[in-house]
A and B are shown apart, each in its own frame.
Chain A
């Protein structure tokens, strides 16, 4: 079966711009979680969606937002980009909420802010 698809794979944006990243989970999976990975901070939880509802949000400013659609696809948006937002953004999908029961990660979107 197809895995988790994240688009785009690579993105270069300028400070102050906004960006939207997309995640298509495995068919049948209703939970999508987003993570930011940087060399200095490691893997940090952004938010989790289950059946179109945001269940949890990590400790990130309001510039980071997300949503999930009825087909379980999810998008995250970062407004007013800062240099520190440069990171690998990963999404994970799973049948049930949480990532403790075999969540599947995508390959990520590498965002570079210049």
Chain B
């Protein structure tokens, strides 16, 4: 199983862009990178998923360098409601048992 390392916590201010980096040095060739967001007392919510280069959707962008040993989740113009825990998962598609949630990054957005 690929092990992931993220910062434990990050602070930001409303309106700023936030970048959260995840290290996954032992990523396998068929592994994908997926990010989830979790609010207190709720289940995680899917944000974005990618394999290489850059992926963008309506809420975030995911940057993956060529060696794929790390990835960066980018949240543009955060608001107070983006305060949550963000998890990076690495694993092959179609196999939940091989995708491990790390410790997550607690993002606190301040006014």
A residues adjacent to B (C-beta < 8 A): 4, 31, 33, 35, 42-45, 47-48, 55-58, 88, 90, 92, 96-108
Instruction: Please determine whether A100 and B91 come into contact, CB atoms closer than 8 angstroms.
Output: yes
Choose from A31, A58, A99 the contact partner of B89 (Cβ within 8 Å).
Answer: A99
**A42 B96 Cβ-Cβ under 8 A:** no
Kindly state the separation between the CA atoms of A92 and B65 in the bound complex, as whole angstroms.
Answer: 29
Cross-chain contact A101 with B49 (CB below 8 angstroms): yes
Q: Which segment, of B13-21, B73-81, B99-107, faces chain A?
A: B99-107
Neighbouring A residues of B97 by C-beta, 8 Å: 45, 47-48, 55-58
A35 to B102, CA, bound (A): 13
Q: Tell me how far the C-beta of B24 lies from the nearest C-beta in chain A, rounded to whole angstroms.
A: 13
A to B CB contacts below 8 Å, 5 in the list? A90-B44, A92-B44, A97-B94, A100-B92, A107-B41
Partner of A100, one of B45, B49, B103, B104: B49
Contact residues of B with A, CB < 8 Å? 32, 34, 41-46, 49, 87, 89, 91-104
Chain A residues within an 8 Å CB radius of B100: 45
B103 nearest in chain A by CB position: A42
Residues of A within 8 Å of B95, CB to CB, are: 48, 55-56, 97-98
Partner of A99, one of B42, B99, B103: B99
Q: Which of A58, A97, A100 has its CB near the most chain B CB atoms (within 10 A)?
A: A100
Please tell me if the beta carbons of B43 and A100 are within 8 angstroms of each other in the complex: no
A107 partner, pick from B42, B46, B89, B102, beta carbons under 8 A: B42
When the two chains form their complex, are residues B46 and A96 in contact, meaning their CB atoms are under 8 A apart? no
In the complex, A33 Cα to B44 Cα: how many Å? 13
Which residues from chain B contact A99 at a C-beta distance below 8 Å?
34, 89, 96, 99
Q: Quick one: which of A48, A88, A104, A108 contacts B96, CB cutoff 8 A?
A: A48
Flag if A42 contacts B102 (CB, 8 Å).
Answer: yes
- Interface contact A42-B34, CB-CB below 8 Å: no
Residues of chain B lying within 8 A (CB to CB) of residue A108: 41-43
